[in-house]
Amino acid sequence: MLDRRVWRADGGRTLIGGSPPRVLHLSPAAYGRLAGPDGIAPDARLTVTDATSAVLARLLTDAGVAHPEPGHPDAPAPGAVSVVVPVRDRPGELARLLGALAATAPGIAEVVVVDDGSTDPDATARVAAAHGARVVRHPVSRGPAAARNTGAAAATGELVAFLDSDVVPEPGWLAPLLGHLADPAVVLAAPRIVAWEAPPPPSVATPHPADASPASSLALNARKAASSIARRTVARYEERRSSLDLGPRAAPVTARSRVAYVPSAALVVRREALGAGFAEDMPVAEDVDLVWRLAAAGWRLRYEPSSRVAHEHRDAVGAWLERKAFYGTGAAPLALRHPRRVPPVALAPWTAAAMTLLGVQRRWSTAAAGVVTLLATARLARGLARPGRGSSRRAVTLAAVLAPWGLGGAAWQAAGALTRHWWPAALVGAVVSRRVRRALLVAGVVEGVADWARFRSPGDGPGDVVGHVVAHRLDDLAYGGGLWWGAWRHRTAAPLRPDLSGKGPDR
């Protein structure tokens, strides 16, 4: 089915969309496969019936302008799935997960619980036995990557579903993922990770000490109120903006795209394609590394948001910031193993030049940035007007939309990098430069408000903006700090260097 956000020009003969955005000019035969009486509709569908339609379907789905519908009659059965759960000292969470599995995925082949060096292995064994799960134990903790590899080696199913112990699969989560695996070229399918809503705790009055003064009681209540507000702010931010939640739109999974990775908190993969599995020497980002290795081997990977698995997000501010910084440390080893796949910004040369001129913050430089954009628009129009690509007028119209679109995307990337990846350097620059201070302030506020507008829920009001912006900036500070620490530890600047080639990582 065509992605509803794809822009259709020339009655649908030209499609603009995907991630990164691209322009597809359909041949008359391809157009005829997709078009109805009124041209190509926003929800146009293509049914694969022969080799020609299969090639077209693969082209559209690889480009991200169309997505396979989740259901398929040839999908593998649940009996082909072994569920692997790595766990360490979480019997309560493990019991919650196994109970949800029994309710939402009946008929699966088996559940393998990998006890990764729990201090109380008997508690883990009791919970697993109560739910009919098999336990494999590491005497000492070897990390989640090794635990998943051990579980995959012990599994018997053709497919392995990895689920972390702090997730709760929702009803209907498995079928859409198995539908994607009906395609023999698809090796991995992942659900959307949403926030788990914990049941409200029972209300218990907390007595004050008999000798507590009114002032001390007031201070205690103020601290509790501040802590509660902070936790609610973090929880609301994570509901909108969790690093695990990749959004409501289906997508192919590939580096430097809208969905560049999927977390190992929940995913289904073909066991035969795992090879060496997760990199056990990577304590963080081992899931991103696996995804990119599978994609580099020629496999297709799909993100399917109609499948939902809930995750118990952290809301204690200290633990939340620590986790964000931990994620940041994974950028350096990823950049070393996968060159040009984790740049802080990836810009075409002309957008990099325009953003640099805008950053100078002078009238002449702003005018020069406009000239650069006009020249880039003219060059793009010439490319779109080549023989077989439509009329010159249509090419100019497309270029007049695509060039500012590219400049807007560059501005979004630059603002994000300034406040996230490069903030330590930007902070030093702000001490000595008024222009840097101005740019940092504008980026911090404008990008934060735009981020809230982009990710807010229908019920969110203007009062949520301040909390979101503050949490977003704290998220960036923690991640950026972890990124610089990881770069220093690995003695590399690779995750800090921008890519200004305007080409994909494999070109």
Q: Could you state, in chain order, the average pLDDT of each consecutive group of 10 residues for the chain (507 residues)? A: 89 86 89 88 90 94 92 92 96 96 95 97 96 96 96 97 97 96 96 85 55 67 77 91 94 93 97 94 95 95 97 92 96 95 93 95 95 94 72 83 91 95 96 94 95 88 89 97 97 95 75
Token match 């090419």: residue?
Answer: 395
Let me know: does 190 contact 303? Beta carbons within 8 Å: yes
CA 47 to the chain's CA centroid: 29
Contacts of 303 (CB under 8 A, 6+ apart): 189, 190, 192, 246, 250, 251, 252, 253, 259, 262
**What whole-number distance in Å separates Cα of residue 411 and Cα of residue 369?**
12
- CB neighbours (10 Å) of residue 231? 15
Residue 93's pLDDT is 96
In single-letter form, the type of residue at position 472 comes to H
Check residue 27 and give left, alpha or beta (phi > 0: left; psi -120 to 50: alpha).
beta
Token match 């990998």: residue?
Answer: 114
Q: List residues bridging with 135 in a β-sheet.
A: 113
Residue 386's pLDDT is 65
**What whole-number distance in Å separates Cα of residue 422 and Cα of residue 415?**
10
Residue 310's pLDDT is 97
Let me know: does 354 contact 502? Beta carbons within 8 Å: no
Residue 194's pLDDT is 96
Residue 391's pLDDT is 66
Token match 């000798």: residue?
Answer: 211
Report how many helices (DSSP H) and strands (DSSP E) the chain contains, helices first.
16, 12
**What whole-number distance in Å separates Cα of residue 291 and Cα of residue 153?**
18
DSSP H helical ranges for 206-276: 214-241
Closest CA to 288 of 238, 241, 332: 332
Query: 14-17 and 110-116: which strand pairing?
Result: unpaired
Domain definitions of the chain by residue range: 7-63, 78-198+235-315, 349-496
**What whole-number distance in Å separates Cα of residue 278 and Cα of residue 276?**
7
Residue 205's pLDDT is 53
In this predicted model, what pLDDT tens digit does every residue of 148-201 receive, in sequence order? 999 999 999 999 999 999 999 999 999 999 999 999 999 999 999 999 986 665
In this predicted model, what pLDDT tens digit does every residue of 45-77 receive, in sequence order? 999 999 999 999 999 999 999 999 888 889 999
Query: 167-169 and 110-116: which strand pairing?
Result: unpaired
Question: Could you tell me the CA-to-CA distances from 377 to 222, 355, 384, 386, 401 in Å, in that order?
Answer: 57, 15, 10, 15, 9
In this structure, CATH architecture of domain 78-198+235-315: Alpha-Beta Complex (3.90)
**What whole-number distance in Å separates Cα of residue 41 and Cα of residue 11?**
9
Let me know: does 34 contact 15? Beta carbons within 8 Å: no
In single-letter form, the type of residue at position 288 comes to V
Question: Could you tell me the CA-to-CA distances from 28 to 31, 51, 164, 254, 474 in Å, in that order?
Answer: 5, 17, 48, 29, 51
Query: 251-252 and 22-25: which strand pairing?
Result: unpaired
Here the tokens at position 416 are 């994000």
Check residue 255 and give left, alpha or beta (phi > 0: left; psi -120 to 50: alpha).
beta
Contacts of 498 (CB under 8 A, 6+ apart): 343, 344, 345, 346, 347, 352, 417
User: Is residue 289 exposed (0-12), middle (13-18) or buried (19+ Cβ within 10 Å)?
Assistant: buried
DSSP annotation of 421 reads: T
Contacts of 275 (CB under 8 A, 6+ apart): 293
